Amino acid sequence: MGTTNRRLQADLLVIGFGKGGKTVAATLGKLGRRVVMVERSAKMYGGTCPNVGCVPTKALVHHSRKRRPEDAPQEWYERSVAEVQALTKAFRGENYEALDGMDTVTVLTGAAAFTDPHTVRVECADGPMTITAETILINTGSEPIVLDIPGLRSSQYTVTSTDLIDTTILPGRLAIIGGGYLGMEFASIYRRFGSEVTVLEAAPKVFGLVDDDVAAVAESILVDEGIEIVTGANTMEVRDGESSATVVYEKDGRQHTLEADAVLAATGRAPVIGDLALEAAGVRTTERGAVEVDEHLRTSRPHIFALGDVNGGPEFTYVSLDDSRIVLDQLLGEGKRSTDDRVAIPHTVFITPPLATVGLTEKQARAAGHQVRIASQPVAEIAAMPRAYIVEDTRGMMKFVLDAETDEILGAALLSVDAQEIINTVALAMRHGIRAAELRNAVYTHPTSTEAFNGVLATIVRSDT
């Protein structure tokens, strides 16, 4: 819906077209409220996930897995990127039309900045627009961090995750600075497309958020695929050459160099708040640069909420969706729902096979004082999981951390085919107090990955006494 009026009054103003904000906007729009959605980039309707995050990266995982040895890497990659871009473009259009097609909602494209607690100025292509709103949602997301390493920010070979998935040239040699989950996902994707991949991680190990036994199996899978992983690596400098970059790093007191056609900065993401002029609205931020919120996602100004990555919470689309439920409960419901209600939130790293986790690790459970039992098996030894053999991928392991006294499931790490799906069953069980014995003895369809629970949970490999 276009507009020629340079001032707009709204019941709800949403800054940033992310998952949480667009869900609240659509809900209130359907109820007849006057809603304005502002997005600074026409390439980001729908937010990070469908444009530069979950959808394109997981689509690339899918395409990379399909490449056969006889498929030329560059041709396969270029075609894959084109198909993924067509997919994200379609999603982007659907997201835009879903809101702008509503009579009660106006979508504006431009950079927004507060001028007072209820007013925002938007710099649109056809001139500025001023919006005054009763309720305002900040939903501007996060962006990749590029560390201040000499030469890294200025190098013509440095790319962020957003840049990399947008290029149609497959890097022959890809250096990844940062061995966190983003770095490892991209290492897995680009190695399967045919790149030579080296990961430089400053910490002593990769997959540091899981137990050592799970981390070792996950790392060995990637190393077996030909990915070079250098831990304890302190990146010192990036120097540009005529056709490649030289990455200088230090390990064990010695300097090393690495030649790369692309250098991926994969060292985390930071909330996008720089141009919002939050001080004009009296909205406080945290030391880490996120918008400060309470358990109901209200900022220091009660009529202004912050949803998604910008509020410093877990950077997942499904958490942003849950943020929208909390805000909607504040605006339309009883106001009881809060971030404190979140229990057993799962997470998946889309390496191949995926690594999905929920709850406590064994180390965390012991540190918390639990008497624990551990059920753990390599996928190749789980007789109850023929699906792994059917799809020809028996790599990985499953591990459950159980309370020895109550049989409560304290946590799980699933490194296996279909882990991204079956972890949700474990999380649901944890949220509703279903004990390990019930999960072990449940009836599952066959042949599926879920029925692995029948086997793994019958195997206690050690216990506290």
pLDDT at 140 over 90: yes
Helix orientation angle between 19-30 and 73-100, rounded to the nearest 10 degrees: 30
Residue 464: predicted pLDDT: 53
The sheet carrying 234-240 orders its strands as 234-240, 245-251, 254-260
Mean pLDDT of 439-464: 89
Q: Are residues 51 and 13 in the same domain?
A: yes
Residue 1: predicted pLDDT: 46
Q: Are residues 76 and 179 in the same domain?
A: no
Per the domain annotation, does 135 fall within a domain? yes
CATH of the domain at 358: 3.30.390.30
Q: Are residues 207 and 313 in the same domain?
A: no
Q: Are residues 444 and 305 in the same domain?
A: no
Per the domain annotation, does 221 fall within a domain? yes
User: Could you give the C-alpha distances from 263 to 145, 167, 199, 250, in angstroms and in order?
Assistant: 13, 13, 10, 17
pLDDT at 5 over 70: no
Please report, as a single letter, which amino acid is at residue 53: G
Mean pLDDT of 139-154: 95
Q: Are residues 358 and 329 in the same domain?
A: no
* Binding-site residue set for NAD(+): 178-185, 201, 268
336 Cβ neighbours under 8 A, 6+ residues apart: 329
Q: What secondary structure letter does DSSP report for 291?
A: B
pLDDT at 462 over 70: no
Q: Are residues 371 and 395 in the same domain?
A: yes
pLDDT-derived band at 461 (thresholds 50, 70, 90) equals low
Number of domains in the chain: 3
Q: For residues 237 and 211, what is the distance between their CA atoms, to the nearest angstrom?
A: 32
pLDDT at 101 over 70: yes
Mean pLDDT of 181-200: 96
User: Could you give the C-alpha distances from 55 to 3, 51, 165, 325, in angstroms and in order?
Assistant: 32, 7, 11, 22
Angle CA 57–59–62, to nearest 5: 115
User: Among residues 313, 341, 369, which one ends one of the domains?
Assistant: 341
pLDDT-derived band at 42 (thresholds 50, 70, 90) equals confident
Q: Are residues 14 and 126 in the same domain?
A: yes
Q: Are residues 15 and 128 in the same domain?
A: yes
Residue 463: predicted pLDDT: 53
**Could you read off the pLDDT of 257-287 as tens digits, one per residue?**
999 999 999 999 999 998 999 999 999 999 9
Residue 48: predicted pLDDT: 77
pLDDT at 43 over 90: no
Domain carrying residue 231: 158-267
Q: Please give the mean pLDDT across all residues of the chain.
A: 94
Token pair of 347 as six digits: 């997470």
Q: Are residues 332 and 380 in the same domain?
A: no
CATH of the domain at 129: 3.50.50.60
* Binding-site residue set for FAD: 58, 140-142, 309
pLDDT at 407 over 60: yes
Per the domain annotation, does 393 fall within a domain? yes
Q: Are residues 135 and 275 in the same domain?
A: yes
Burial string for 345-371 (b: 16+ CB within 10 Å, else e) reads ebbbbbbbbbbbbbbbbbeebeeeebe
Per the domain annotation, does 364 fall within a domain? yes
397-403 and 372-378 beta bridge pairing = antiparallel
Per the domain annotation, does 2 fall within a domain? no
Residue 44: predicted pLDDT: 84
Residue 341: predicted pLDDT: 94
User: Could you give the C-alpha distances from 460 to 265, 355, 415, in angstroms and in order?
Assistant: 41, 21, 18
**Could you read off the pLDDT of 157-168 as tens digits, one per residue?**
999 999 999 999
Q: How far apart are the first and last CA of the chain?
A: 67
Mean pLDDT of 70-83: 94
User: Could you give the C-alpha distances from 39 to 3, 36, 47, 251, in angstroms and in order?
Assistant: 16, 10, 9, 43
Per the domain annotation, does 149 fall within a domain? no
pLDDT at 93 over 90: no
Q: Which of 303, 370, 432, 446 is catalytic?
A: 446
446 is catalytic: yes
* Binding-site residue set: 58, 140-142, 178-185, 201, 268, 309
User: Among residues 227, 244, 267, which one ends one of the domains?
Assistant: 267
Residue 3: predicted pLDDT: 45
Q: Are residues 135 and 279 in the same domain?
A: yes
**Could you read off the pLDDT of 208-255 as tens digits, one per residue?**
999 999 999 999 999 999 999 999 999 999 999 999 999 999 999 999
pLDDT at 441 over 90: yes
Q: For residues 375 and 458, what is the distance between their CA atoms, to the nearest angstrom?
A: 7
**Could you read off the pLDDT of 285-335 as tens digits, one per residue?**
999 999 999 999 999 999 999 999 999 998 898 999 999 999 999 999 999
Q: Are residues 396 and 249 in the same domain?
A: no
Q: For residues 235 and 233, what is the distance between their CA atoms, to the nearest angstrom?
A: 6
Per the domain annotation, does 136 fall within a domain? yes
Per the domain annotation, does 308 fall within a domain? yes
pTM above 0.85, yes or no: yes
User: Among residues 341, 374, 397, which one ends one of the domains?
Assistant: 341
